[in-house]
Amino acid sequence: MLSSVVFWGLIALIGTSRGLYPFTHSTSPHLPPRLYRGCYGDIMTMETLGTTCDINSLINCGIRGSETFAEMDLRAMKPYPTLIKEVGQRHCVDPAVIAAIISRESHGGSVLRDGWDRGGLKFGLMQLDKQIYHPVGTWDSKEHLLQAVGVLTDRIKAIQKKFSTWNVTQHLKDRPYFESGIEAIVTPADVDDDYVNDVLARA
């Protein structure tokens, strides 16, 4: 799921401000620091299908399709690498996952109007639903992103607790991140859909 412009693009985007290109398999004596993966599993070991291939999208689908979509959002994501890394470290979440959700939800904020979606129901880079949460802060602020990622980790923890036998991939593959409670989730198939596969491939 890596080996693409997008992968390196996201790495560059969330790489450190010193301009390092962290790569864990290097044998160079100048080993860069290991890329921060947070507390919810190593996404590079997780299986994903990428975005769904159906009759309407035979070309832009699968892992390559997701990567292409993420790549298209890179420019809009440019203001946020530091913010995303800080918030990721605070909540112990892989910044690549946060970046991927931002890409999927709001294309780096580029499709939002004053932070709101077209229907005026979802707010911020990660598109918190105002019917469920009370969004705090401005749409691209640290305060708001901390809230949104906190919602994400609360959900992952709830799934971990409810389904203690599932593995890290299944715990992370929660769907859709901000729209409903976890009551409806019963089997791993319930958390394995286009949304999560697309997000993982983008990450």
Binding site for ligand NAG (CB under 6 A): 45-47, 167-170
Instruction: Decide whether 148 or 185 has the Cβ nearer to ligand NAG.
Output: 185
Q: Which of 141, 144, 150, 188 shows the shortest CA–CA distance to 169?
A: 188
Nearest approach, Cβ of residue 170 and ligand NAG (Å): 5
User: Quick check: 186 and 26 in contact, CB under 8 A?
Assistant: no
Please name the residues in contact with 63: beta carbons below 8 A apart, sequence gap of 6 or more.
Answer: 1, 48, 49, 50, 201
Instruction: Decide whether 77 or 191 has the Cβ nearer to ligand NAG.
Output: 191
Nearest approach, Cβ of residue 187 and ligand NAG (Å): 11
Instruction: Decide whether 45 or 138 has the Cβ nearer to ligand NAG.
Output: 45
For ligand NAG, the nearest residue by Cβ is: 167
Per the residue annotation, which of 47, 71, 86, 105 is the catalytic one? 105
Q: Which of 114, 88, 115 shows the shortest CA–CA distance to 100?
A: 88
Q: What angle do CA 122, 8, 61 make, to 5 degrees?
A: 60
Query: What are the helix (H) ranges across the chain?
Result: 5-14, 62-77, 81-91, 95-106, 142-162, 168-172, 194-202
Nearest approach, Cβ of residue 8 and ligand NAG (Å): 23
Instruction: Decide whether 103 or 169 has the Cβ nearer to ligand NAG.
Output: 169
Is position 105 annotated as part of the catalytic site? yes
Nearest approach, Cβ of residue 26 and ligand NAG (Å): 24
Q: Which residues are catalytic?
A: 105
